[in-house]
Structure 1
Amino acid sequence: MASAGDVFDHGRHGTSLARVEQAKNTRCSAASRVDADAQAQQSPPKPLLVAAPCDAGEYPVVVFLHGYLCNNYFYSQLIQHVASHGFIVVCPQLYTVSGPDTTSEINSAAAVIDWLAAGLSSKLAPGIRPNLAAVSISGHSRGGKVAFALGLGHAKTSLPLAALIAVDPVDGTGMGNQTPPPILAYKPNAIRVPAPVMVIGTGLGELPRNALFPPCAPLGVSHAAFYDECAAPACHLVARDYGHTDMMDDVTTGAKGLATRALCKSGGARAPMRRFVAGAMVAFLNKWVEGKPEWLDAVREQTVAAPVVLSAVEFRDE
């Protein structure tokens, strides 16, 4: 059996990474529309990046939602790490440009989840089968807020929720300046989702990059506030010396990619934080989805050396 420490390293599976284009709306003849409708059923409502194990088998599905104004491929190394431990990770591109209101991306994420049962199998390699008895939802930054919104029923989905993981979630620019719809209510146990919750935070996210830019995960609307409101079962892990975008790929290209380094305070090399976030996700999913608590127990008891220093290890049991 693998040691607990292996959760922070790539797992035993090789992985594939595939882009899946969204369904296209076309004007055509009645006969052609039949073919187009059939094709649309197999094509997702949003472009996807899908990481999956290469070994034949059936695997649980995790939907990972990108951060504000980010590209889904900024997380390719993270989702491949998770996939290497036996999960299919679906990462939609919810939008290219967006304003403060998150309603449309909540609805888009729900549409992607509803599509999984009809179309995901056709986009996977032969022998790779998704287990869609339930789906886990994760997200980074504003994507973490969207994950909570889905868990709270702001948009209905056809698949039950297995687990919810928010990576440095953000609910606006500060207390009193939440983006609609607000998630935080500033009341104990206000966040009650029908699944266990993990909140991963960063120690540097609440600090400004410099005098010109505000914090990327402001105090009062970030990870600690989310965890404080989560009903049990829930847990909270905080990487002390890393920042809001440090779990992304080593190289993030283009203007948006440059912004992930220029706007947010960083702990330096991204690999340790990425390994920690991916490993923590896997440990949590292994317990609550696969019924294997050993890795999460080791993280909780700190009997395994995490690749980052943790300033908070909190668990709220049922």
Structure 2
Amino acid sequence: MDAASAVLLFLAHCLLLHRCMGSEAGGVFDQGRHGVSLSRVDEARAPWRCGGGTPSTPGAGTLPPKPLLVAAPREAGEYPVLVFLHGYLVVNSFYSQLFQHIASHGFIVVAPQLYTISGPDTTEEINAAAAVIGWLAGGLSSALPPGVRADLTKVSVSGHSRGGKVAFALALSHAKLALPLAALVAVDPVDGMGVGKQTPPPILTGRSRSLRVSAPTLVIGTGLGELPRGPLLPPCAPLGVSHAAFYDELDCAAAPPTAACHLVARDYGHTDMMDDDTPGARGMLTRMICRSGGDRAPMRRFVGGATVAFLNKWVGGDGAALDGIRACPEQSPVGLSVVEFLDDKATAPIE
């Protein structure tokens, strides 16, 4: 390398360093400025709120169609809503730390328990999730802290694993929604046990750019999800029906430019965004069946921060944090193997 090339390389490195130092990407991976209330809302009893206080008693018309876990800022104000759909055969409370991270940045997270036991068909889950979205206008206020209001013009949907598939189904109009979706965030989505073994109704088609989603979409993937934990166990996110396939088939032609993003956590597994402590037999299985990257906290911070950055841009109109992740992915608390945006198909492997 000659002296001129060395100088240009040095200047480019300094420019990138300056951009990253001034980037707002890192802040979304930390806890936000809002205190958070975590509430349970059951079909048969009044909301219960963590941290004390007297819960309100809703009327019959305000009871949700499914039990809920609701995370919301404590400070009075109006906040956008994210409906989060849990993974296969797990409990919504397994994501409570993730919900609190997102809510601390100024979002209301509504997480229904769609079922206790379910077979392969996801039709009832899709309809139940749509019913929860329909309930928001008449019932959500009873589950929120005093002075906190939901901005129902800005409702987004997210889901993990099979819940990510259900979230895609809602965005693809597999059920009629009472409210338009502002954004879609799929966290390591899975469409069945493998190619040709999709659970009904199938979402993936096997054709690139075949899923016409009108809402801006973030697909988060895991590098270890497609790998089995052991020789006798199947992978939790099988190749061909996991995050890469969802992103490849995504067509955001009806959405704004740069409306789709694909981020992959290289060294983390399918359930690593869950709580540190997931009790009971189901909680134990989240650690035994899926390959893991170890400590869950970094992956949880990444998923929460990436979700906040994406929603800030497409729901809140502030793209600084998402632009920061794109420019400086090394600020993420986990190593990223893919940082991809649909506008240019630019993929950035990070060593």
TM-score, scaled relative to structure 2 = 0.85
Partner of 1:301: 327
Deviation (angstroms), 1:101: 0.2
Which of 267, 276, 281 is residue 307 of structure 2 equivalent to?
A: 281
Deviation (angstroms), 1:2: 9.1
Gaps of 5+ in 2: 1-21, 46-57, 253-258, 345-351
RMSD between superposed Cα atoms in Å: 1.4
1:96-111 equivalence runs, <5 A: 96-111=116-131
Which of 223, 233, 236 is residue 243 of structure 2 equivalent to?
A: 223
Gaps of 5+ in 1: 25-37
Q: Give the distance between the partners of 1:187 and 1:304, measured in 2 at CA.
A: 32
Alpha-carbon contact 2:24-2:324 (below 8 Å) kept: no
Q: What residue identity is the alignment partner of 2:69?
A: L
Partner of 1:14: 35
Alpha-carbon contact 1:23-1:45 (below 8 Å) kept: no
Partner of 1:252: 278
SS in 2 for 1:111: helix
- Could you tell me the percent identity over the aligned residues? 70
Partner of 1:311: 337
> Does 225-234 or 243-252 show the bigger shift?
225-234
Q: What residue identity is the alignment partner of 1:310?
A: L
SS in 2 for 1:178: coil
Determine whether 1:165 maps to 2:222: no
1:247-284: per-residue Cα shift (whole Å, max 9, x none)? 00000000000000000000000000000000000000
> Does 125-134 or 67-76 show the bigger shift?
125-134
Q: How many residues align?
A: 305
Q: What residue identity is the alignment partner of 1:314?
A: E
Partner of 1:33: none
1:221-269: per-residue Cα shift (whole Å, max 9, x none)? 0000000011132110000000000000000000000000000000000
Alpha-carbon contact 1:298-1:304 (below 8 Å) kept: no
Partner of 1:204: 224
Alpha-carbon contact 1:11-1:84 (below 8 Å) kept: yes
Look at both structures and tell me which one has the larger radius of gyration over its CA atoms.
2
1:102-135: per-residue Cα shift (whole Å, max 9, x none)? 0000000000000000100121111000000131
Deviation (angstroms), 1:310: 0.3
Q: What residue identity is the alignment partner of 1:207?
A: L
Q: Give the distance between the partners of 2:98 and 2:23, measured in 1 at CA.
A: 20
Deviation (angstroms), 1:22: 1.7
SS in 1 for 2:305: helix
Q: Give the distance between the partners of 2:327 and 2:24, measured in 1 at CA.
A: 15
1:152-174: per-residue Cα shift (whole Å, max 9, x none)? 00011100100000000000000
1:36-78: per-residue Cα shift (whole Å, max 9, x none)? xx83321100000000001110000000000000000000000
Alpha-carbon contact 1:15-1:80 (below 8 Å) kept: yes
Determine whether 1:193 maps to 2:219: no
